[in-house]
Structure 1
Amino acid sequence: MAMEMRLPVARKPLSERLGRDTKKHLVVPGDTITTDTGFMRGHGTYMGEEKLIASVAGSVERVNKLICVKALKTRYIGEVGDIVVGRITEVQQKRWKVETNSRLDSVLLLSSMNLPGGELRRRSAEDELAMRGFLQEGDLISGVLVQVSPSLVKRQKTHFHDLPCGASVILGNNGFIWIYPTPEHKEEEAGGFIANLEVISRLRNCIISLVTQRMMLYDTSILYCYEASLPHQIKDILKPEIMEEIVMETRQRLLEQEG
């Protein structure tokens, strides 16, 4: 059996190339954001000597007159309308506790759960007894869960994507990404269990490569990275030199698309 061993080396970040995502206003704690007193203070900022100052390291975001700093590394803070991927941690009375990468566990009520077959009715005592049959602690069924920083998931109108490679991804705003075989994919196109597993594994390594190089995750960037990785074996994608090559090609295609 062939085995390859490598010594750890410092990873060199990719050269800053001029995409739109590199034009963000980045600050560290203590940086002055603005001296204009007409702006309102938001999360991650405070007022000092008539200046708006950053209290966390991150990117400055402005909504009308409100300025806040979105931290680069933080636990997920939910917002209305977010798509969230979670994992069951505990089954309780008429509810599940769900890990969603936030400061506290989330709660999924039995009354909010879709019954098998889409049946619409009141939840009964039998449904409560069968809760572990619906969702159980640690369930990961027919897919792979990848956890990344929430700041790297790009906000879009839809976070459910069926990729042409035969797999689908759910990009949770909380940094949890679920990769699974596309249900409607025809069997003759899918290629069976082994082929599905290879596609999912390749997508997983591509996402890790993008995250390592701090690139935003959305359907186009993931698909371009997947296509750039096809000449390489799945196990080789995470080698530093191949990872850099794949991500550089992905970034170049994205820049060409942006025009």
Structure 2
Amino acid sequence: MSQTIHIRTASQENRIRPLPSSQKNHRIFTPGEEVIKAAHTNFVRGHGTYEDDGDLKASVAGVKEQVNKLISVRPLKSRYNGQVGEVLVGRISEVQQKKWKVETNSRLDSLLQLSSVNLPGGELRRRSIEDQHMMRQYLQEGDLISAEVQSVFTDGTLSLHTRSLRYGKLGQGILVKVLPLLIKKCKIHFHNLPFGVSLILGNNGYVFIGPPINDKEGNEGGFVQNLEEVVPKETREAMARVRNCILALAKNFRMLFDTSIVFAYEESLKYNVHELLLPEAMVDVAVLTQQRLSMLENYESH
């Protein structure tokens, strides 16, 4: 007995573009595509471009960026290039003398100096030999931390600091890795979402999802971990749902910030947590989230 099999694909109206609709002036150039014609000679060639018979062409697949006369093409997929003041999530990769090496999704490991961290208790004093001997008790290989870019060396290595009490070692939670390009630059990258989940959106593409942060925490110089605390089942389910929503948005090249993640969470409630990993559910959540963001932008513009 023959049986008919129906294969359903995403409908035409649900087909999404690689970049958010809010970035209308941003189109993707492919390698070898013409960015500036030879008639326009008043430009300066930047990264991601090359000249061919006077024409400026893209050497990578990415988005055109122009600052005055400087024209460059920023690649869609690349290692993170840090800037001073940006918030990062990283993992300790090595403990060295007076510093830790941190993996931050950049070309080179970042550095966290012993003098750039708060000591337990938040006390301020010069670092001693005893502090160097206790470095592994503060932070050791495999620990996740949140930090801020303090400076950038000439070779691109990032120097980090955790002097603010909101930075430091991270406890229980989920780490999600996405393209750094998808993290929207905002004034605030630490969020307590309304459904009982805390979120750290690292500019380097590392997103940390954890239990809600209490104001009383973080008074020990950024070295407190809640490893003994039992996270309620409802919170764990919410954390898993947030993770799958972030993956759905990232898979469909949608910008990640607190509002987009909250909208995606609300649109995902019709699915079970594990169903959000299905391609159709990912597309559905991403499209509905983008529609709500567009409606919000239109409302705020009027």
TM range (shorter): 0.7 to 0.9
Equivalent position to 1:177, from 181, 194, 207: 207
RMSD: 2.4
Q: Which moved more, 1:177-186 or 1:207-216?
A: 177-186
- Greater relative contact order (CA < 8 Å, ≥ 6 in sequence): 2
Which consecutive unaligned segments of at least 5 residues does structure 2 have? 1-7, 145-170, 217-229
Q: What's the counterpart of residue 215 of structure 1?
A: 254
DSSP 3-state at the match of 1:85 = strand
Give me the whole-angstrom Cα distance separating, in 1, the residues matched to 2:195 and 2:47. 40
Structure 1 or 2: more strand by fraction:
2
Amino acid at match of 1:181: P
Q: What's the counterpart of residue 72 of structure 2?
A: 68
Q: What's the counterpart of residue 119 of structure 1?
A: 123
1:104 aligns with 2:134: no
Structure 1 or 2: more helix by fraction:
1
- Report the TM-score when normalising by structure 1: 0.87
Q: What's the counterpart of residue 229 of structure 1?
A: 268
Q: 1:55-94 to 2 correspondence within 5 Å?
A: 55-94=59-98
Q: What's the counterpart of residue 45 of structure 1?
A: 49
Give me the whole-angstrom Cα distance separating, in 1, the residues matched to 2:247 and 2:206. 12
Q: What's the counterpart of residue 293 of structure 2?
A: 254
DSSP 3-state at the match of 2:23 = helix
Following superposition, the deviation at residue 68 of structure 1 comes to 1.1
Give me the whole-angstrom Cα distance separating, in 2, the residues matched to 1:182 and 1:256. 29
Q: What's the counterpart of residue 6 of structure 1?
A: none
Which consecutive unaligned segments of at least 5 residues does structure 1 have? 1-8
The answer on whether the counterparts of 2:16 and 2:252 sit within 8 Å (CA) in structure 1 is no
- Report the TM-score when normalising by structure 2: 0.76
Q: What's the counterpart of residue 132 of structure 2?
A: 128
DSSP 3-state at the match of 1:21 = coil
Give me the whole-angstrom Cα distance separating, in 2, the residues matched to 1:235 and 1:78. 34
Amino acid at match of 2:29: V
Following superposition, the deviation at residue 207 of structure 1 comes to 0.4
Q: Which moved more, 1:67-76 or 1:228-237?
A: 228-237
Give me the whole-angstrom Cα distance separating, in 1, the residues matched to 2:243 and 2:53. 48
The answer on whether the counterparts of 1:166 and 1:185 sit within 8 Å (CA) in structure 2 is no
DSSP 3-state at the match of 1:20 = coil
Equivalent position to 1:243, from 275, 282, 293: 282
